[in-house]
Amino acid sequence: MAQRADRFTARRLMHFAVRATIGFVIISVLWVAAYRILPPPITVTMLGDVAAGRGLTKSWMSLSDMDPDMARAAIAGEDGKFCSHDGFDREAIANAFRRNQQGGRIRGGSTISQQTAKNAFLWQGGGYVRKGLEAWFTVLIENIWGKRRIMEVYLNIAETGIGTYGANAGAKRYFGHDASSLTPVEAGRIAAVLPLPKKRAAIDPSGFTRSHGNRIAALVGVVKRRRLDACLD
């Protein structure tokens, strides 16, 4: 009798797990499909800034209206293989894993696609669950959105300063004008802020932020000449 009850419980749990998985897949696909057309209204990270009293400033700008050097700077600074990978840069991930095994500051190997999936649908931080969900949403946006939409969403929801989200809001905050017209230096400085937006500022930067921004600015022309941004045409 007890064995029969155990088997019944196991079947019910399995049935629930299957239904929950199917439900999650359907909801996540519909969610991603909606954001293929609609701008994400808010993210978990934005809510965190609001809850912490840091405020929220964002100003959506389509990729067509944004200066192309902004996307080139993002590619130069964050993901040089953006147009050629399937959402995952396996070489960068392997290199990051080897460096992290040696100790010291933890480094990631995330692509712009992975960062967009995390920013749009998930929360900051690590953990296997979050990384697993990030991989799932990365596959979805690569197949449902395509590269151009991924870059557009990334440049509109990525943190560019404390309580500031998107390249357009960042350009207004740091340079007093929108992102429709950026110099390579301005685009490079915004891109340099992206990895640590709460600790760096694009206006009058110093130290690593200044030098990194200058390196990115110098690479903007390389990205253009080598057509590393061809998938955004």
pLDDT at residue 102, as a whole number: 60
In a 10 Å sphere around its CB, with 0-12 CB exposed, 13-18 middle and 19+ buried, how is residue 10 labelled? exposed
Is pTM beyond 0.85 here?
yes
109 close to 94: Cβ distance less than 8 angstroms? yes
| Per-residue model confidence (pLDDT) at position 106 | 47
Whether 151 contacts 31, CB under 8 Å: no
**For residues 129 and 122, what is the distance between their CA atoms, to the nearest angstrom?**
11
CATH superfamily of 42-232: Biosynthetic peptidoglycan transglycosylase-like (1.10.3810.10)
Residue 18: its pLDDT value, please?
94
Extents of the domains making up the chain: 1-35, 42-232
pLDDT of 178-188, one tens digit each?
999 999 999 99
Read off the tokens for 56: 């929220």
Half-sphere exposure of 26 (CA within 13 A, CB side): 6
| Dist CA 185 CA 166 (whole Å) | 17
* Positions in the chain short of pLDDT 70: 1-8, 96-108, 199-206
CB proximity list for 81: less than 8 A, separation 6 or greater:
89, 92, 111
The pLDDT value given to residue 2: 56
